[in-house]
Structure 1
Amino acid sequence: MSPVPDSPASPWRHGVTGALRAALVPLAACAAALLLLTAYTTTGAAGDPPARISVGNGRIFAPLNAATTAAFFDITNTGAAADTLESVSSPSLRVAMLGRNVSKDGTGRMEPVQSLVVPARSEVRMTPFTVDVMVLDPPLLNVGDTISVDLWFRTSGRITVEAETVPARW
């Protein structure tokens, strides 16, 4: 018996097999790199470092009239990135919004504020002379009463804090 000569397709098959083997190493390296990058970002280690927001010293003025009052908080960010307070809400308060005191020609008035940036590694203290939480149509509050307030931050989400009713003096 004489040997059967190789079919004409054999060199082509060897060429394709060799090309696939040559492509396998870079393909495996890319897949491993993608897997490692996915694991890295999933842990939260990638990207900007997070803000670390804490809120304390919540107080709300006992309303002097039925129309308005104000609440105040100390916001601390110990993180390496800024965060933004975007809104305030409470089941106990009818209307609550960020505001600031504006004086013009000796007359003071409150005006709404869209948001409040809390820089990295800093503290923002709300006062009657800076930014506060304006409360319209407040409920009856007596000195010593506490209410629960939700502060909504862009990246930190909702932080719930208690505010104690205090006399309206500064």
Structure 2
Amino acid sequence: MEKFDSCRGKFRIFDVMFTLQSGEYKGSIVTQIQGNISPYEALKHLDSGCVAINPEQSDCDFHESEDYEGNWWFEATLKNTEGETCHIENECCYLEDYIVAAEIMKEKKMTECKMKYEDMMNALEEAVRSSNVLSGNDEQQVLEFISELRYSEAGWEVWDDID
């Protein structure tokens, strides 16, 4: 990365490259990690056991799929220096066993992002649903609050003040 601003307290989007390796075979994926988080938190944020990984880039044909029992699996085709390939496939909870490096490739502050208000509300809803931290009733209350905020004038004013 050419330039990095280490300020805290602002929503940022990180493009993080994860290098996968098995034996002498390697591949990489680049995924976006976003939030009001530090660079270190972005690097360790990938939770392959419970969050779907949708790479922005992949040089190893990485993808995930769900089997008939509801388990999530990943597949990738890694290459060695001679161009020979090695197909790996495992349950997503084992992806971390293949990660040998993580690097922030790019970072954008919220003022540089083109995220729309509606996209932010959708991201908040998805984060609440996938967090597994809130109980059913608490989760429902938070989702209702997000819904009210989504359509309120106050929500739009807060969004305008973020920059």
Query: In which range does the TM-score fall when normalised by the shorter chain?
Result: under 0.3
Instruction: Compare the two structures and name the one with the higher strand fraction.
Output: 1
Instruction: Compare the two structures and name the one with the higher helix fraction.
Output: 2
